Structure 1
Amino acid sequence: MLEALRKIVQEVNSAPDLESVLRVIVRRVQRAVRTDVCSIYLLDPATQRFILKATQGLNKKSVGQASLSRSEGIVGLVGERAEPINLEDASKHQAYSYIQETGEEKFHAFLGVPIIHHRELLGVLVVQQEAIRRFDETEEAFMVTMSAQLAGVIAHAEATGSIGKLDDVKNKGKTDRKFEGVSGCVGVAIGQAVVMTPLADLNGVPDRQAKDIELEKEKFQNALASVRKDIKKVARSLSKRLRSEERELFDVYLRMLDDNALAGEVVAQIENGNWAQGALRKVVEEHVRQFSLMEDPYLRERASDIRDLGRRILTWLQSSAPSLAEIDFPENAILVADELTPAMLGEVPTDKLVGLLSVNGSGNSHAAILARSMGIPTVMGAVDLPYTRIEGMQIILDGFSGRVFVNPSDDLLQCYQDIIDEERQVNADLEGLKELPAETKDGYRMPLWVNTGLVTDVARSLDRGAEGIGLYRTEIPFMIRDFFPSEQDQTETYRRQLEAFAPRPVTMRTLDVGGDKPLPYFPIEEENPFLGWRGIRITLDHPEIFLVQIRAMLRAAEGLDNLRIMLPMVTSVHEVDEAKSLISQAVSELREEGVKVVQPQIGVMVEVPAAVYQVRRFARRVDFISVGSNDLTQYLLAVDRNNPRVANLYMSYHPAVLRALQFIVQEAHKEEVTVSICGEMAADPGGAVLLMAMGYDMLSMNATNLPRVKYTIRHVTIEQASGLLSTILSMDDADKIHLLIRDTLKKWGLGQFTRPTIPD
């Protein structure tokens, strides 16, 4: 059964569309269970009826025709109960409903299992047999396992079913095809998809119309020649150490590259209009699929050889491709990637970028946080989006709801264009706030700082009236390089931030890599990176990296004296003491070298539960406390903020998170130490009101949202904010808390800062 399951899943994964997926399932399951019938009924969201979509054993003409309501028949009962139903004679059951056109009257034994994906009922998988008998436990277990394994595949195939080649979609007209993700940055974008190809990853190569077919063929032939040369070189160097049968593998590789084999098929695909990389992917995928389905283990393993060969050719093709900065972006580009990275965002020409779309990641990933600082509408975690097939298509990106529409209709385009126009008007109304303080109607002053990291953040932050930098992400300059930046390089980078904001304070977080922020030249392989080697743990283990960075910060602040140094991911006072000792060492060294260094303020980030309960101990050792609410929420709720599968469980307004935030500020103030917050909660107008009521001394946020938060604070009283906080702290449901905040903002006349009405 396990081997049968493996083969079915393997074959299903390589099926090109939903119909093929369903046909494979019913055929293979019927054979594996040795039963007379296997059928799949899928629930149609529009009609709320179970429709027979594929069958092996029933009348083929009934496929697409036979249907049952959600409450009809045993199929409906399986869906209603969301559990298997195993009957030795289905016709005797009170829920039995006979569908004449299927020809199922002669079948008695019935076993149906629900197909459920992320709590959503997709359909029912059914096996039937003429004999009157009950399917045994092994068969039932196999069916349940099969349903669970295939639910995601079916959901993905169903979601991508209407997306074909660009030419096909153009011919068919507008589709309004919708894909669900999560919001990364609010706002709406309408533009053209530009798909980024991951390095040496065939699965991520998009289909793209070749601009010059002869040039694409030439690129491919050059890549082939390079790969042939590489293989021959490796074969020669290993010839004395390999047996003759092992040396023959290299000959097999070379034969695959012949014009009559794999190479010839790629050329044919290029001549059909696909660019070289897309043609290569298509041919390799088909060969891999064919080899993977073979019964012979030796031949089946050849699929990995094909895949390896494809990666080698792709690497050479990509080496001659233009860099991200050299790509000719359309004027309204929506950057699409399997996974957005901070390095990508640092290279893209932002003047042509209107939106960002990532298949993986979540609304709280580091890339999404940077997108918010850039003010670019972003959707993350659109896991069902067939992103390799949408190059050049028109897209609506809805950063409010996390939806993406491919090839939208004119009516939908107009609807979203109206929302864009409304947003522009709101932003225009906020432009006059720059010189005004964030002060409530009853005189309570709330300093608003910004989070920065990209070079473009500085001008944007000053333009919006930022009073300081609460978080400068020093890892960004590290991420967009191929090696660790020198002390001088870092000094020049930090000086630009400090000079631009002087005399206003600039809080520089020491290198915070690991987790979702890897360095390409300093790889960290871990089972669970968020609970691993990251933040202060890395820099204390590498004092040579830490000291160079601290020296650069101190040198950059010479004569400005507006530097604050912040330590990330601290969990113990020992880490704080050790870091302070190294900072003192750097101060002493520079003074000996003649640099006029002023001892900077030192603070810690509270972003893990262990730090929450040591706030007073930290406060006795440092000058300020800053809360990183993004990571703190993640760790308190045990929710990976990069995982779109559990994105709905990441709740900034969870009662436990709110209680922790209030406890931190209360404990720090007992030691008369200031407390700021630099997580994304501060950038939400409703969240800012609550944090102000809790007593936070500064709020730090992305520059894009700063005017909205300032406007909100200027239109409420501290008494109103405190009353709302008091009510919310008595509540125990995050969704109800979020709803109350939204309704309260509307009641206060601040409804423009809540989510706009979006077409369903």
Structure 2
Amino acid sequence: MSAAASARQILTRLHEIMAGRTHAQHKLDRVVEVIADSLDSEVCSIYLLREGALELFATQGLNPAAVHVTRMAVGEGLTGTIAKNIETLNLAEAKAHPDFLYRPETGEEKFHSFAGVPIVYRERAVGVLCVQHVEPRRYEEVEIEALQTTAMILSELIAHKELVDDEETITFGEAHTETEVIEGLTLVKGLAAGQAVFHQPRIEIDQVVAEDIEAERQRVYRAFDKMREQIDALGKEPEFGKGGEHVEVLETYKMFAYDEGWSRRINEAIDSGLTAEAAIERVQQRTRMRMREIDDPLLQDRMHDLEDLSNRLLRIVSGQLGTAATQGLRRDSILIARNLGPAELLEYDRRRLKGVVLEEGSLTAHVVIVARAMGIPVLGRASGVRARVSEGDEILLDADRGTVTLRPGQQLLDAFETRFAKNRERQATYAELRDVEPFTRDGTRITVMINAGLRDDMSMLQLTGADGVGLFRTEFQFLVSATLPARDRQLRLYRDVLDAAGDKPVIFRTVDIGGDKAVPYLNSQVAERDENPAMGWRALRLSLDREGLLKAQARALLEAAAGRSLSVMFPMVSEPWEFDAAKKVFEDQLEFLRARRKLLPEAVEYGCMLEVPSLAEVLDLLIPRISFISVGTNDLTQFLFAADRANPLLAERYDWLSPAILRFLQRVSQATVGHPVRLGVCGEMGGRRLEALALLGIGYRRLSITPAAVGPIKELVRKVDLGEIGAQMNQWLLSPPADLRAELKRWAEQRDIEVD
């Protein structure tokens, strides 16, 4: 039997139970009987969240005496794990699962197989529906589908008090009044204050079971047509007319809007007997569950785009078209959402929208591109924020430190306003340094450049007065595209970047994708097996294997730089032969263009990233072949310490100011002395004042950093005497103090050098 047929059979029988005049407990008892019978299951049980714990409300197959007796905390046992994670479990052997917890009063010791799905209401688990068998086996996909559809129906019936008595208090939510701080992931830096506004007002689904399946199908078809019209119209907005990554984001977005597989799954849900609204919600719940199982951040982001479109479709089909954007923001607002699509963010009044807080989100999410261009701070992965905030609550967003404060008291408000004021003063001070060249006290000119990856980033050259772009990450165009970017599209981007830079240099890093920056159109069996993607098939390794990709990029860069100088940097070089192989691809393309009498760059210089420690051991062999080296401190640090920087348990464990990394960096610096090779640092380390002070002390004179750090670093440079800090760093590295960071900070404070 198909999933739709199984669900339809259950729906019909549930409808008969609901029509009866019996009390709620009898209805629940009949519900588990129907589900057990329809799925040919020996056990079916319903647990509901009551007074903060999951309570067994009804069962078929377990000991009836356990009903309203067996209780477990959210997160306790298999049932509690399902509720906590809002996930489906399907186990052939329940006892083998690490979260298994035996409850003797239920008499479940003879059952081996177990499957459970959350009963979700307003995106929160309010219960669990589970089935069990004596024989060890995994449940079929059609059975899980039927269970998930049934759980969705149960949530609505419970919410409307059709399956619980009035005196039974099922936990659906609670009011919050206390000050609370939630930590998250900084997606776009900045400070903001305002009132909480939910991106999407709650859409209540009043009717779950369809009376006329064909009529529901037609409603969905009409809603799809209207949604696609809206998405097509967005492409005509001024923001998209400028070209660039925004256009590529929208194209990916449209790809989902016209995806036949998505509409087919909604139709199948309607076939099972659901209304149009319930069918969309059913497919959306399944999408959310799949998102939790996906490790690939890029695929997760694409699932987020689908979630955004599902929300649009649900609003259209229900007639509840308004979002906070369409209703208008009346005051300074912080937007709260599970996730946000790039198109939806553009609908907001940017004069009133001060910040965004997302329960999910990642650094590679499409909405981050748009938010960065709009200058709106964004905090992601603020777990549970929507359940802990109410519409209109006062919010303080500190995306610099990765926190959001809900319902702050007056003291916190005053302190935040003081930070705001100081921040404005500092920004004004840094702005005054825009046209000031960063010379040290002893007269040495330090080169301060920015890292970039978008056309929009290039405006920061003028705003900060930076010396150029020390790292242009070309991979962003690849990450936001649904397909491999064509050579002419790459050429337009690189030409625009060089035009925007004017006479300031730009160093283009060849594409660094693969590993944790996976793209679906370059999937590889090798990449899929990477247990440590940071050290896997990525960056130059991938480019050399997929030579067509590197050839296209080389041609695009060479043509874009016609009549100008071109600087190319190769990422993750481990041995000199990799550099030679990559350079040969560029030289071959140069010959190809020369043979066709194309206008060529006036000069092409090649360099490499030093991220892999092995390269430091063969620098003497590589230095004669290159024009510049840029130390990538982010990857280098994790490789030196064998510590995954994405692992929160290790993120703060190893210090950039430890003697191990500073000695390594000093050795690299000393290896370039006497050679015409420019040595620099690109990475977060160079943009932090205390760390930058240490780098200056061990011989680094070029820093490529985030645009926001240019002003602070220029200010720092003007207070430093290189001879003094160099001598002190040498002394400390020969005989390291117990806490080098504390010593360096004390040394700086004694000389009135601000390092925070």
Q: Normalising by the residue count of structure 2, what TM-score does the alignment of the two structures yield?
A: 0.60
What is the CA–CA distance in structure 1 between the aligned matches of 2:335 and 2:456, rounded to whole Å? 18
Structure 2 equivalent of residue 470 of structure 1:
470
SS at match of 1:257: helix
> Aligned ranges for residues 204-353 of structure 1 at < 5 Å?
208-210=201-203, 257=270, 262-263=274-275, 266=278, 314=310, 317=313
Pick the aligned partner of 1:616 from 613, 620, 641: 620
1:481 Cα offset (Å)? 2.7
1:702 Cα offset (Å)? 1.1
Structure 2 equivalent of residue 716 of structure 1:
720
What is the CA–CA distance in structure 2 between the aligned matches of 1:252 and 1:533, rounded to whole Å? 35
Q: Deviations over 1:3-44 (max 9, x none)?
A: xxxxxxx999x97699226x79xxxxxx9xx9xx999999xx
> Aligned ranges for residues 328-727 of structure 1 at < 5 Å?
354-355=354-355, 357=357, 377=377, 379=379, 382-383=382-383, 385=385, 394-523=394-523, 526-528=528-530, 529-561=533-565, 563-594=566-597, 595-649=599-653, 651-669=655-673, 671-723=675-727, 725-726=729-730
1:20 equivalenced with 2:16 (yes/no)? no
CA contact (8 A) 2:507 2:568 kept: yes
Residue type at the aligned position of 2:568? I
Q: Deviations over 1:137-187 (max 9, x none)?
A: xxxxxxxxxxxxxxxxxxx99xxxxxxxxxx99994643222234656664
Q: Deviations over 1:415-468 (max 9, x none)?
A: 312211211111112211111111112212111011111222111222211111
Q: 1:508 to 1:674 in 2, by over 3 A?
A: same
Structure 1 stretch displaced more, 667-676 or 597-606: 667-676
> Aligned ranges for residues 2-17 of structure 1 at < 5 Å?
none
Q: 1:283 to 1:694 in 2, by over 3 A?
A: closer
Residue type at the aligned position of 1:643? N
1:668 Cα offset (Å)? 2.7
Q: 1:467 to 1:283 in 2, by over 3 A?
A: closer
CA contact (8 A) 1:570 1:576 kept: yes
SS at match of 1:442: coil
- Root-mean-square deviation (CA), in Å? 5.7
Residue type at the aligned position of 2:576? V
Q: 1:284 to 1:550 in 2, by over 3 A?
A: closer
CA contact (8 A) 2:495 2:560 kept: yes
CA contact (8 A) 1:360 1:644 kept: no
Q: 1:459 to 1:347 in 2, by over 3 A?
A: farther
What is the CA–CA distance in structure 2 between the aligned matches of 1:367 and 1:312, rounded to whole Å? 11
CA contact (8 A) 2:430 2:715 kept: yes
What is the CA–CA distance in structure 2 between the aligned matches of 1:338 and 1:389, rounded to whole Å? 13
CA contact (8 A) 1:683 1:705 kept: yes
Residue type at the aligned position of 1:317? L
SS at match of 1:428: helix
SS at match of 1:641: coil
Q: How many residues align?
A: 557
Q: Deviations over 1:182-218 (max 9, x none)?
A: 65666432246688xxxxxxxxxx863359999xx99
Q: 1:176 to 1:536 in 2, by over 3 A?
A: same
CA contact (8 A) 1:360 1:382 kept: yes
SS at match of 1:444: coil
Q: 1:278 to 1:501 in 2, by over 3 A?
A: same
1:372 Cα offset (Å)? 8.8
SS at match of 1:705: helix
Q: 1:282 to 1:493 in 2, by over 3 A?
A: closer
Structure 1 stretch displaced more, 452-461 or 312-321: 312-321
1:573 Cα offset (Å)? 1.5
Q: 1:659 to 1:255 in 2, by over 3 A?
A: closer
1:471 Cα offset (Å)? 0.3
1:178 equivalenced with 2:181 (yes/no)? yes
What is the CA–CA distance in structure 2 between the aligned matches of 1:354 and 1:553, rounded to whole Å? 38
1:737 Cα offset (Å)? 3.8
1:688 Cα offset (Å)? 1.5
What is the CA–CA distance in structure 2 between the aligned matches of 1:18 and 1:727, rounded to whole Å? 63
What is the CA–CA distance in structure 2 between the aligned matches of 1:376 and 1:678, rounded to whole Å? 25
SS at match of 1:208: coil
CA contact (8 A) 2:284 2:307 kept: no
Structure 1 equivalent of residue 233 of structure 2:
none
1:670 Cα offset (Å)? 5.3
Structure 1 equivalent of residue 297 of structure 2:
none
Quote the sequence identity (%). Answer: 29
What is the CA–CA distance in structure 2 between the aligned matches of 1:369 and 1:418, rounded to whole Å? 30
CA contact (8 A) 1:566 1:603 kept: yes
Q: 1:547 to 1:386 in 2, by over 3 A?
A: same
Q: 1:727 to 1:318 in 2, by over 3 A?
A: farther
Q: Deviations over 1:639-693 (max 9, x none)?
A: 3333334333353333322222222222233544211111111111112211122
Structure 1 equivalent of residue 98 of structure 2:
none
Gaps spanning 5+ residues in structure 1: where? Answer: 1-9, 25-30, 43-52, 55-125, 130-155, 158-167, 196-205, 229-250, 268-276, 287-309, 755-760
What is the CA–CA distance in structure 1 between the aligned matches of 2:617 and 2:347, rounded to whole Å? 41
What is the CA–CA distance in structure 2 between the aligned matches of 1:388 and 1:491, rounded to whole Å? 47
CA contact (8 A) 1:223 1:317 kept: no
CA contact (8 A) 1:373 1:702 kept: no
SS at match of 1:620: helix
What is the CA–CA distance in structure 1 between the aligned matches of 2:218 and 2:454, rounded to whole Å? 38
Structure 1 equivalent of residue 10 of structure 2:
none
Q: Deviations over 1:279-312 (max 9, x none)?
A: 97679999xxxxxxxxxxxxxxxxxxxxxxx999
CA contact (8 A) 2:176 2:390 kept: no
Q: 1:385 to 1:212 in 2, by over 3 A?
A: closer
